[in-house]
């Protein structure tokens, strides 16, 4: 197992100093996500401007992978429409499940592609997908 391919600089940076980790004043929607088996626990807060996610942030605690994945996701979805965000969630989950392996198709995930190697670590997959599932739940509520 190559640790460097999992604990990349990008992931470590997002874990340590996430600019997205704070609570959001006047959030329109707040969604709680939890991995009961390991204790990763996040609250995702979203602000909307019509159909667009105008701002997002999170609070909570968990392992480096869960925290970095959440932060990277927030960078990606800000400014996106609900439909676009949902599509990104599906693509990310497909990447982790290895349903999509084509680099071209994955390019729209941008920095979140750094989490691709988690798919080789079954024990940690749930850490990586927690925030994405949480976002999906939140957006379903919004729709």
Partner 1 sequence: MTSKLESAVREEKQNQEFAKKYKADFPILDQQINGKELVYFDNAATTQKPVSVLDAVDNYNRTINANPHRGAHTLSVRATEAYENARAKVRDFINAEKSEEIIFTRNTTESLNLLANSLEALVEEGDEILISVLEHHSNILPWQQLAERKNLKLKYLYPDENYRIPLSELKEKLTEKTKIFSISQMSNVSGVINPVKEMAELAHQIGALVIVDGAQGAPHLKTDVRNLDADFYAFSGHKMLGPMGIGVLYGKKELLEELPPFLKGGGMIEYVKEQDSTYAPLPEKFEAGTPNVEGAVGLEAAVEYLEEIGLDKIKEHELELTEYALKKMKELDYVEIAGPLDLEDRGGIISFNLKDIHSHDLATIVDSEGIAIRSGHHCAQPLMKFYRLNSTGRISFYLYNTKAEVDRFLESLEKVREVFGYGS
Cα dihedral across residues 75, 129, 57, 63: positive or negative: negative
**Identity of the residue, 33 or 62, whose beta carbon is nearer to partner 1 in the bound complex:** 62
Of 7 and 48, which has the nearer Cβ to partner 1? 7
Binding residues for partner 1, rule: CB under 8 A, are 1, 3, 6-7, 12, 16, 37-39, 41, 61-65, 121, 123-124, 127
CA–CA distance, 6 with 115 (Å, rounded to integer): 7
| β pairing state of 40-49 and 52-61 | antiparallel
For residue 51, the minimal CB distance to partner 1 (Å) is 36
32 vs 24, 29, 45, 60, CA distance in Å? 14, 10, 9, 9
In this complex, which beta carbon is closest to partner 1, that of residue 6 or of residue 74?
A: 6
CB of 19 to partner 1, least distance (A): 18
């Amino acid at each position: 197992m190559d640790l460097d391919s999992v604990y990349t600089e990008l992931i470590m940076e997002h874990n340590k100093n996430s600019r997205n980790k704070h609570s959001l004043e006047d959030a329109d929607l707040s969604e709680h996500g939890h991995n009961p088996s390991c204790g990763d626990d996040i609250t995702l807060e979203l602000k909307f401007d019509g159909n667009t996610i105008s701002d997002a942030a999170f609070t909570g605690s968990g392992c480096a992978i869960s925290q970095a994945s959440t932060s990277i996701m927030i960078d990606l979805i800000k400014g996106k429409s609900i439909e676009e965000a949902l599509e990104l969630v599906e693509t990310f989950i497909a990447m982790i499940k290895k349903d999509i392996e084509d680099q071209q198709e994955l390019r729209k995930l941008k920095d979140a592609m750094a989490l691709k190697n988690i798919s080789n670590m079954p024990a940690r997959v749930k850490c990586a997908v927690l925030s994405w599932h949480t976002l999906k739940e939140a957006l379903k509520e919004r729709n």
